[in-house]
Amino acid sequence: MAENEDDYQYTIKEGDYVVLKRGDIYKAVQIQLKKKVIFEKQWIFLDNAVGHLYSTTFEIVSGGVLQPKEDKKDQDTEHPADVKVAGTDNRNIVDDGKSQKLTRDDIETLKEQGLKGQEIVQQLIENSSTFTTKTGYAQDKYIKKKKKKYENTVTIVKPTCRILAMMYHGREPGKICHLRYDTLAQMLTLANVHAGSKVLVFETCAGLVLGAIMERMGGYGSVIQMYPGGGPVRAGVECFGFPSHFHDTLHEFPICHVNALLAGSLDTSAKDPSADENQVVEKQFGVAVKHQNQPESEQQDGGPEEQRMETNAAAAAVQDQEELEKEKRKEIKAQEKKLKLEEKRRKLAAAAALLEGRNADGLVIASRFHPCPVLLGLIKFLSPSRPFAVFSQYKETLIECYTKLKEQGGTVNLRLTDTWLRHYQVLPNRTHPVLLMSGGGGYLLSGTTVATDHSKPAGSPQAEEPARKKARTDKH
């Protein structure tokens, strides 16, 4: 329990975003009272965790209730202290499938009796006829394996970039384009992400990359997220549980407006093209609810209610009241929509203002889209002498980026790289690389922008800008 005020910030509170941990398995959840959470095939309630300090290990007892684990030392010293007999080799160990005297049913009964994982492991050892003839190392391995299976604990830790990047890579690599955590680490460094800078991000990694960048900026400076489709995906950012002032530094800009912005034809004062789009959808409201739902649900608002309305409409026969209420709700919805549009417009204008100076300090791209057009489009917003890092799951796409950048100039220090990550088991007399390693964590292209060739040194980018703008508007 919290002992003093200093502990307050390390105390688990209701509503906190936390990470559950058992061994190398992680799961991000929010602490909500009376809410069932499934972790490692088990239902648990997190209510009891509130008020305890982060990094506390809990035992899961009956009904999925958490109980802080007493005496951590216990688990470390418990093993083979009482097992001193050990064999030297396995010449006499025969695999007859009868070495374990306990049957599956016996073990189930033990579990039902509410025996702790540790006690079950002890029972298994005592009832194994071959255990004492195993070598000390084999005994160790046996205990470790059984403990992993029967021990019923969970540690609640504070979310960090390290933990979330490892979690996503372990649980849902597909959602983050197989971006391995060491590759993410390289990206943050190569793009020189730090407090006080203005960073552009384009990612479809569930918000993990954005969250990692925000953590490194610590609420200083600004982040502009360029997003495809109806809205930015930020589930991963939520998991970080940033203080609210971090979100004041976060801006968003739809990638579909980049061309307009570059051409100087983006009008943020009145209705923008996306607003028109929304209006069209609104006209077809009754018919095209599903279509509208797609981008909407990404923004995590309004989705469920609309869906309910749809089913109501389908189920109801000819009820006028229903119709009336539907009409009313429609009106309220329209009003909300208007407010939302206004808010969207305001946000768009703010992000556009940040981009217009074309003086961003860093660019990070990690998406399922072809990186080449993204890079060539967004690099125009960087100041000279600023780093950028582009991730791709595939090397070929980055070869194309490399070639195009070389052709058009304006960058130096281009490097196409990938990293290998090897884990080691370090134990007395048993040290070796871990048997399995990740096959690939993706590729990176990094470099630094410089003032473009045809411009003269010092302050020239401003001078050439009108010409570039003109060329673009001519095309339209």
Partner 1 sequence: MNAVLDAFYGANSCVLSNSLSFREPGFILLAKHEKKNPLKRRATKHTMSFVQYSDLIHDGDVIIVYLGHNSVMPVKVQHGAQTQTRYGVIRHSTQLIGQRYGSKVTCSKGGWVQVLHPTPELWTVSLPHRTQILYTTDISIITMMLELKPGSIVCESGTGSGSLSHAILRTIAPTGHLHTVEFHEQRALKVAEEFKEHRVDPLVTVRNQDVCKDGFGVTGVADAVFLDIPSPWEAVGHAKVALKKHGGRLCSFSPCIEQVQRTCEVLADQAFEEISTVEVLLRVHDVRTVSLPLPDFGPDPSSQTELGPKEEAPPTPSLNHASITMKTTTPPREMPGHTGYLTFATKPRT
Please report, as ranges, the residues that interact with partner 1 according to CB under 8 A: 7, 10, 53, 55, 72, 160-162, 165, 181-182, 184-186, 188-190, 192, 194-197, 215-220, 359, 361, 383-387, 395, 399-400, 402-403, 412-413, 415-424, 426, 428, 431, 443, 448-451, 453, 457-461
In terms of DSSP bridges, do strands 443-449 and 250-254 run parallel, antiparallel, or are they unpaired?
A: unpaired
Contact by Cβ (8 Å): 192, 180: no
As measured in angstroms, the least distance from the Cβ of 168 to partner 1 is 13
Measured from the CB atom, the residue of 192 and 307 that comes closer to partner 1 is: 192
Contact by Cβ (8 Å): 225, 210: yes
Measured from the CB atom, the residue of 194 and 368 that comes closer to partner 1 is: 194
Contact by Cβ (8 Å): 159, 215: no
List residues bridging with 392 in a β-sheet: 443
Measured from the CB atom, the residue of 106 and 400 that comes closer to partner 1 is: 400
CA nearest neighbour of 208 among 260, 168, 153, 265: 168
As measured in angstroms, the least distance from the Cβ of 139 to partner 1 is 18
Element (H, E) at 427: none
Query: Mapping DSSP to helix (H, G, I), strand (E, B) and coil, where does residue 147 land?
Result: helix
Measured from the CB atom, the residue of 82 and 407 that comes closer to partner 1 is: 407
Question: How many whole angstroms separate alpha carbon 233 and alpha carbon 227?
Answer: 8
Measured from the CB atom, the residue of 99 and 160 that comes closer to partner 1 is: 160
DSSP letter string, 40-78? SS-EEE-GGGTTSBTTEEEEEEGGGEEEEPS-THHHHHH
Contact by Cβ (8 Å): 3, 53: no
Measured from the CB atom, the residue of 43 and 220 that comes closer to partner 1 is: 220
As measured in angstroms, the least distance from the Cβ of 280 to partner 1 is 42
Q: Tokens 């959470």 correspond to what residue?
A: 37
Which tokens is 443 given?
A: 């590729």
Question: How many whole angstroms separate alpha carbon 156 and alpha carbon 56?
Answer: 6
As measured in angstroms, the least distance from the Cβ of 294 to partner 1 is 34
Query: Mapping DSSP to helix (H, G, I), strand (E, B) and coil, where does residue 7 land?
Result: helix
List residues bridging with 388 in a β-sheet: 363, 447
Measured from the CB atom, the residue of 44 and 405 that comes closer to partner 1 is: 405
Which tokens is 370 given?
A: 């072809």
CA nearest neighbour of 294 among 316, 315, 277: 277
Measured from the CB atom, the residue of 264 and 410 that comes closer to partner 1 is: 410
Q: Tokens 């007399």 correspond to what residue?
A: 429
As measured in angstroms, the least distance from the Cβ of 286 to partner 1 is 49
Query: Mapping DSSP to helix (H, G, I), strand (E, B) and coil, where does residue 161 land?
Result: helix
Measured from the CB atom, the residue of 257 and 386 that comes closer to partner 1 is: 386
